[in-house]
Amino acid sequence: MTNVVPMNNNSAVYTVEEVKDLLRIARGAAYAMVQNGEIPAKKIGTRWVIPKARFHAWLNDLPEASLEDIAREFLARRPIKVLEVAEDDDKHTGRGA
């Protein structure tokens, strides 16, 4: 079941939680994007708010991703396990399995 955050239609701003749900990203990712300025936001006291109009303008202005961009992003998020291959002494003598 998908969690749906009821949006307050009277508010001019989103919370980070609401933006997280709208973008379907992790909470930490949403906070990081807000804090580094990637998502337009304002800090009011200790609380971050995202103006709805600026958020939607930002979202609409994002470039469309190519398949190459998607593949690069997918691979960047996945740790690649590198296995060391030990040279088999038998391989050099022709006595391999």
| Span 57-86, average pLDDT | 75
* Mean pLDDT (the chain, rounded): 81
In a domain, 1, yes or no: no
Question: pLDDT-based confidence at 89, cuts 50/70/90?
Answer: low
In a domain, 75, yes or no: yes
CA separation for the pair 34, 88 (Å, rounded): 52
DSSP string, 24-91: T--HHHHHHHHHTTSS--EEETTEEEEEHHHHHHHHHHSPPPPHHHHHHHHHHHSPPPPPP-PPPHHH
Q: At what angle do helices 27-35 and 16-23 cross, to 10 degrees?
A: 120
Q: How would you classify the pairing of strands 47-51 and 42-44?
A: antiparallel
In a domain, 5, yes or no: no
Domain extent at residue 67: 13-93
Percent of the chain at pLDDT > 90 equals: 49
pLDDT at position 68? 79
pLDDT at position 73? 73
**Comparing 75 with 19, which gets the higher pLDDT?**
19
In a domain, 44, yes or no: yes
In a domain, 74, yes or no: yes
